[in-house]
Amino acid sequence: MFKLLKKLTGRKQKLNRINLKDTLEDQSNQKDQSVSRQIDVNIERIKKIYQIPDNKDVKVREFRIGGNGKRIAIFFISSITDVRTVEDSAIKPLLQETDMDAEIDKILSTQNVTAISEIKEVVTNINTGNAVIFADYETKAYAFECANFQGRSVERAENEVLVKGSKEALTEKVIVNLSLIRKRIKNESLIAESVTISERSRNEVFMLYIRNVADDKLVGNIKNRLQNLDVDAIQNLSLLEQYIEERRLSLFPSILYSERPDRAASFLEDGHIILLMDNSPDALILPATFWSFFHTPEEHYLRFFFGNFVRFIRVIAMFITIFTSAIYIAVTSFHAEMIPADLLLAIAGSREKVPFPIFFEILLMEAAFELIREAGLRVPNPMGPTIGIVGALILGQAAVEANIISPIVIIVVALSGLTSFTISDISLNYALRIIRFLFILSAGLFGIVGMTSLFAVGIFYLVSLKSFGVPYLAPMTPNYLSSGDTIFRRVITHEKFRPGYLKPTDMKKKSNGAVR
C-alpha cells in the first residue's frame, strides 16, 4: 500500500520535475515558434508562456463563432487592456455572427486588425496591451489595438513654473504627451518614430522631429544611437539620458530635460529632436546648448524688456550663486585692503568671538545649507516647510549666538543658496552647486588667483564641450547664423532664423515681420 503511494508520489515528483524544466532556453524556444494550425497547441503555448492560471490578470476567453462554429480563443492582459473594447468589438460580433464564410478580420469592429504568424509577435502584442485572437485551422493570429494603461491625467507643471503661458505638463503616458505636442504643431511633417531600445522590457522611445526642418544626419545619428543600446531595460527618460549622453562624467548636462509640452514644441520648431517615453512625465530635448539650460520659456512669453530683465536677473543670480562665498573668503583672507575700512572693522568685530578660520566657517555653513535643502526635499510633504524654517532660521540664529558662525557668513551663504533657485533647470542647478564648492576651495587656497584660474579652466572646458556635435556655447562662439538668443533675446520679429548649429534644412523661421 505504502509502496504504491510512494510510487505515485514519486511519479508525481518526477512529472513535476519534467514540467519544471523551464529553462531560459526553453522559454525562448517557446517564443520562437510560429502559430500552429491546431488551436489547442497555440493555447497551450501561450498559457505556458504566461503561466496561466498563476498569472492572474492574463485572461483567455474560448468560444465558437456564431455562424460556422469555429473555435476561437482571445488572449489579453486585463490590467492594461480596455476590456469594454474587447467585449464590444470582438467577442460580441464574433458570437453574433451568422454568416458561415465570414473571415475573422472582417467581423472584428476595431480600428485595426493585424494578422501575425509568429508566437514572438503574439507575445509582444499581448504585452503592449493588445488583444490577440487565435482561430482553429488558421496559421495566423489576429491582433487588435485596445491598450489602456492607467496613469495621471494632464496636470499643472510643477518644476518649471511659469506665471504667463500654458500650464500643462507632460504626463507618464506617451500617447497623451504626443497629443499635447501635436496640439501645438498641427503639421503633417511632425514625425513620431518609435524605436525599441531594450531587450527584455521592450521599452519604446518616441523620437519626434519635424521633417524638412531637422537635419537628417542628426536624426540618423540619434536613431542609430538609440538602436544600438544593448540593455535589458531602460525604465524612463532620466535613465535613457545617461545612456545616450556623450560625456557621462561631465559636470554640465548635455541633454535638456523639460516637463513642458510648449517648450518641447518650440524646440521642435527650431529643428531639435525630442524623445518621449512611457513612464516619463517629461521630454528629452537634444542637442542642447548651455543657453537652453539657462533659459526658461517665460522670457519669450513676456514682452521684450520684461523677458530680458528676467534674464539679467538670472545672470546676476548665477554669478552670485557661484562666487559670493568664494569672494568673501578670498577678499577677507587675501585681499583685505579691498574692503572699505568701516566694513572691514564690522566684519572683524562680528568675527571677534568666532574660533574658526573664515574658510572653515563658510564651508560649515554651506554644508549646513545643502543639508537643510536635501532634507527639506525628502521629508514627508506636510512637514517639509516646517523643517525648512526650523532648520534655516533657528539653526542660523543659534549658530550665531553660540559664536560658531558670524552673522555676515549667514548673509553670504543664504544669498548664494537662495539665488541658486533662480536656475530652474535641475541639472544645471546641481552643476552650479557643485561648482560653488570648487570655487570655495580654490579661493581658500589661492584667493582671487585661485578663483580666476578655476574660472579660466572652466571657460576652456565649457567651450570645448559638445552636445551631439553642437558646441556648448553656440551660437555665441563659434558663431553661427541664428536668432541670437543667448544671454539676452531679441525683439521677437527679429528672431528670424533657426539656430544654424543644428544645420536645419530650412533656415528661415519668418520673414521680416510677423505683421504684414
Partner 1 sequence: MKQTEGKIGIREYVAIILLAVGTKLSDDTPTLFFSSAKNAAWISMLLTGILTLIPLFFLIKVFSVHRDKNLHDLNLHLFGKVMGNILSFGMLIFGFAALVLDSATYVNIISTIYFTKTPSIAIYVILMIVCGYGAKRGIEHIGSAAWITLFYLKTTLAFALIIAFTKGNAKFLFPIWGPGTSEIVKTAASKISIFADFYFIGIIAPFVSTFKEFKKGTFIAFVIVLIEITLALIIYVMLFDFTSIEVISYPFHELILYISIGFLNNVESMFLPFWLISAFIRFAFYLYMVLILFGGIFRIKEYEFLVPVMVILVIFLGITPKNATFTVPFLREQLLMILSPIFFILPSLMWLIAKVRGDFKNEVKKDM
C-alpha cell read off for 128 = 503592449
Q: Which of residues 314-373 bind partner 1 (CB under 8 A)?
A: 331, 334-335, 337-338, 340
Q: Which is nearer to partner 1, 388 or 500 (CB)?
A: 500
The Cα–Cα gap between 11 and 6 comes to 8
If one asks whether residue 404 binds partner 1 (CB under 8 A), the answer comes out as no
Instruction: Give the residue, chosen from 451, 467, 468, 470, that forms a contact with partner 1 under the rule CB under 8 A.
Output: 451
Q: Which stretch binds partner 1 (CB under 8 A): 38-46, 141-149, 356-364, 443-451?
A: 443-451
If one asks whether residue 452 binds partner 1 (CB under 8 A), the answer comes out as yes
At residue 137, what is the residue type? Y
The Cα–Cα gap between 287 and 281 comes to 19
Closest CB 497 distance from partner 1, rounded Å: 11
Q: Which is nearer to partner 1, 444 or 447 (CB)?
A: 447
The Cα–Cα gap between 58 and 127 comes to 10
Instruction: Give the residue, chosen from 316, 479, 493, 506, that forms a contact with partner 1 under the rule CB under 8 A.
Output: 479
Residue 100 · residue 109 · CB < 8 Å? no
The Cα–Cα gap between 280 and 236 comes to 5
Q: Which is nearer to partner 1, 478 or 513 (CB)?
A: 478
The Cα–Cα gap between 231 and 199 comes to 6
The Cα–Cα gap between 471 and 464 comes to 7
CA distances from 61 to 23, 72, 100, 145, 448 (A): 28, 8, 21, 17, 76
Q: Which is nearer to partner 1, 100 or 338 (CB)?
A: 338
If one asks whether residue 476 binds partner 1 (CB under 8 A), the answer comes out as yes
Q: Which is nearer to partner 1, 343 or 371 (CB)?
A: 343
The Cα–Cα gap between 306 and 73 comes to 64
Q: Which is nearer to partner 1, 233 or 345 (CB)?
A: 345
Interface with partner 1 (CB under 8 A), residue total 33
Instruction: Give the residue, chosen from 223, 225, 503, 509, that forms a contact with partner 1 under the rule CB under 8 A.
Output: 503
If one asks whether residue 480 binds partner 1 (CB under 8 A), the answer comes out as yes
269 — phi, psi (to 5°)? -60, -30
* Per-residue interface string for the shown chain with partner 1, residues 453-472, x marking contact by CB under 8 A: x-xxx-xxx-xx------x-
Q: Which stretch binds partner 1 (CB under 8 A): 27-35, 158-166, 429-437, 452-460?
A: 452-460
Closest CB 337 distance from partner 1, rounded Å: 5
If one asks whether residue 500 binds partner 1 (CB under 8 A), the answer comes out as yes
Q: Is residue 336 packed enough to be buried (19+ CB in 10 Å), middle (13-18) or exposed (0-12)?
A: exposed
Q: DSSP characters for 424-441?
A: --HHHHHHHHHHHHHHHH
Closest CB 287 distance from partner 1, rounded Å: 14
Closest CB 330 distance from partner 1, rounded Å: 8
If one asks whether residue 493 binds partner 1 (CB under 8 A), the answer comes out as no
The Cα–Cα gap between 452 and 464 comes to 18
If one asks whether residue 477 binds partner 1 (CB under 8 A), the answer comes out as yes
Q: Which is nearer to partner 1, 82 or 215 (CB)?
A: 215
If one asks whether residue 212 binds partner 1 (CB under 8 A), the answer comes out as no
Residues 6+ apart with CB under 8 A from 233: 198, 200, 201, 203
If one asks whether residue 478 binds partner 1 (CB under 8 A), the answer comes out as yes
* Nearest residue to 271 via CA among 22, 514, 498, 38: 498
> Binding residues for partner 1, per CB under 8 A?
331, 334-335, 337-338, 340, 446-453, 455-457, 459-461, 463-464, 471, 473, 476-481, 500-501, 503
